[in-house]
Amino acid sequence: MHIEEKNYQDPFYHSNIFNFYFKNLKIGILDIETTGLNPDRNRVILGGLVTKEDDGIRSLQIFSESREEEATLLEAYLNEIKKLDVLVSYNGDHFDLPFLSKRFHFHGLCKEFHKSPLHCFSMHKSLDLYRTVDRYSNIRKSLPNLKQKTLETYLGLWSDRSDEISGADSVEMYYDYLKTKDESLREKILLHNKDDILQLTRLMKILDKLDLHEIMFHTGFPVFLEDKRLLIESISLKKDVLYIIGRHKNIPMEYRCYNSAYAAELSHRNQQLFIKIPCRAALDCLYIDLEDFRIDSAQLEKYPGYQSGYLLVKETDALNYLEVNHFLRLLLEEILKEL
């Protein structure tokens, strides 16, 4: 197994909105190289990771130098992933994470795989930039496709690349490397992967062009208090009721709260979170009375959706994503304080 690690002075992406959701969390940018697209038949040959450090960023690449080293590679890679809270990828929800999960399971590294194909990452917030751009922007209409390199060109980042090979080329080179042990082939594969992960750090500025509050409403976000962890997986408004579904970790007890304002359940057995919040209706609006909740609503007073102790959830057909997300974070933090 070959490991390459390097530190860079490049700043990691940040913005006020991004920090609202991810400040103080451990973030990693992930990309893998495989021998094909089917995890039942193909293997992981290289795991790449970029992490945010105090003085810049750090790249880590773990390369399998033989067919027998995949398990060793995956164990080392998984140990690095376990240190993280947020995984940023490009099409990772559909490829990298499911592929890794199956290979982890194959080698006995993910004991809980049977519960869900992505259970190995059950407490990681996944931020898939491909999925985000595809579902929550109109950028696709301006581009011939949404390949990573196409989006890099759109943002003026193409000149930052050094490699000139494709993923398919790297597979052919890998099989040649296994036969010849030619280090120049290994270096080309590593360069291709390193450019992908370093470019993803720069590609994160695409978030400046998107409504991150809307994205977090639909895809969920983490809420941590010390070692207690909640991960919202989905938020939905059905008629006049908000439903929140998620998972939790390091909460060694059952929690149930039923009152007129909301119902909340945290199951210790399956680590699931469920909250139901009825909203009140007036004219074309849905709102909640903040006095019904034990939260510090002063943090919400700066928003347009705050009106004299009430929080407007929906006005006509427009959801107030920021207001709802911030309210939910405050509510969940209060629940964690009780546990």
Which of helix, strand or coil describes residue 206?
A: helix
Which pLDDT does position 115 carry in this prediction?
53
Model confidence at 159: pLDDT above 90: no
Whole-prediction pTM: 0.93
State which amino acid sits at residue 142: S
Cα end-to-end span (Å), the chain: 44
Nearest to 167 by CA among 28, 32, 30: 32
Structural domains of the chain sorted by starting position, each given as residue range(s) with its CATH number in brackets? 2-210 (3.30.420.10), 214-338 (no CATH)
Which pLDDT does position 118 carry in this prediction?
56
60 within 8 A of 80, measured Cβ to Cβ = yes
What pLDDT band is residue 163 in, cutting at 50, 70 and 90? low
> What is the C-alpha to C-alpha distance for residues 119 and 271, in angstroms, rounded to an integer?
12
pLDDT digits (tens, 9 = 90+) for 115-149: 555 567 888 999 999 999 999 999 989 999 999 98
130 within 8 A of 140, measured Cβ to Cβ = no
Model confidence at 85: pLDDT above 60: yes
pLDDT digits (tens, 9 = 90+) for 37-75: 999 999 999 999 999 988 899 999 999 999 999 999 999
Q: Provide the H-helix boundaries in 155-312.
A: 167-180, 183-203, 212-219
Model confidence at 338: pLDDT above 90: no
Which pLDDT does position 252 carry in this prediction?
84
What pLDDT band is residue 168 in, cutting at 50, 70 and 90? confident
Nearest-10 crossing angle of helices 183-203, 167-180: 150
> What tokens does 237 get?
């408004």
Which pLDDT does position 117 carry in this prediction?
55
Give the residue-averaged pLDDT of 237-258.
93
Model confidence at 113: pLDDT above 70: no
What pLDDT band is residue 182 in, cutting at 50, 70 and 90? very high
Give the residue-averaged pLDDT of 153-168.
78
Enumerate the β-bridge partners of residue 115.
none
Which pLDDT does position 44 carry in this prediction?
98
